[in-house]
Amino acid sequence: MLLELKDVHVHYGKIEALKGVSLQVDEGEIVSLIGGNGAGKTTTLKTISGLRSCSSGSVFFEGADIGSMPGHRRVLAGIGQAPEGRGIFPGMSVHENLLMGAYARKDDHSKELAEAYELFPRLAERRSQAAGTMSGGEQQMLAIGRALLSKPKVLLLDEPSMGLAPMLVQQIFSIIEEINRRGTTILLVEQNAQQALRLAHRAYVLETGRIVRSAPASELLDDPQVRAAYLGGDVGGGDTGDTAGAEGEAGKVALGKTAPETGKADGEDAPDAE
């Protein structure tokens, strides 16, 4: 096992954002963590990368407890992250931003640099452009490319599809798949559950700081409760677009509570019982 969280609790002051999260990521996998806004997805990634510390519980990487390891050492150990909101340096060029990804390394990074440009030809075209003047999608590519420069064993991605046009979302997801195919393990946080579940091998559902489901991704795609809560009740069409997100928000408490067996299934899009 590459990465493991055991009963992790994380607080912001008195607010308990993670209430005992346990999850595992094996080498070679794409594991997706889905959940609504405020569920604790970003906090989970920050706890793995060392930006937040656990109040209790443990984080293991390659079998070692890394709970007290500072963030920059975790990067060197092989934990790479493309953070929420991208976190690129707007005044620096695309090329300089990519090189920042390798700042902690002492070995040669030319192979990873070439690979980032190969995966994202758009970045190669714009290598001397100021990163802050790039489009949202290009900045997302840059954030992922920069994370690759640290030569990660596991790549943590925080909502890479956020704010992107559907065509670009497809592009980003297929590049993520390619990065995994080339050998990098991926932990993918997404509110875009449908896309994430199509890509992932396994997935966890997070609700208000707790894991409420864990299963092979294909199983969750077919699960009526998950469909109702996160997929807008329709996985067949494949084009639920923005409404899926809106309905996912509305239904995000559905899994934590026991769904009523009887009574009216409100909502036109509620999936059929069979």
Ligand X SMILES: Nc1ncnc2c1ncn2[C@@H]1O[C@H](COP(=O)(O)OP(=O)(O)O)[C@@H](O)[C@H]1O
The CB-side HSE value for 99 (13 A sphere, CA atoms) comes to: 7
Binding test (CB under 5 A) with Mg ion, winner from 32, 42, 49, 195: 42
Token pair for 69:
């390891």
Q: Is 32 in the site for Mg ion (CB under 5 A)?
A: no
Token pair for 245:
């997100």
- Closest contact distance (angstroms) between CB of 161 and Mg ion is 12
Other CB atoms within 10 Å distance of the CB of residue 170: 13
Distance CA 227, CA 215 (A): 14
Which residues inside 68-107 make contact with Mg ion, applying CB under 5 A? 84
The interaxial angle of helices 166-181 and 136-148, nearest 10 deg, is 10
What binding mask, one character per residue, do residues 28-47 give for ligand X by CB under 6 A, x or -?
A: -------x-xxxxxxx----
Which residue's CB is nearer to ligand X, number 38 or number 216? 38
Binding test (CB under 6 A) with ligand X, winner from 14, 15, 110, 258: 15
Which residue's CB is nearer to ligand X, number 35 or number 251? 35
- Is 261 strand, coil or helix? coil
| Closest-CA residue to 79 (of 107, 104, 108, 116) | 104
195 binds, among ligand X, Mg ion, none (CB under 5 to 8 A by kind): none
Binding test (CB under 6 A) with ligand X, winner from 2, 3, 8, 17: 17
* Contacts of residue 222, Cβ cutoff 8 Å, sequence gap at least 6: 235
- Closest contact distance (angstroms) between CB of 207 and ligand X is 10
In the complex, which residues of this chain contact ligand X (CB under 6 A)? 12, 15, 17, 35, 37-43
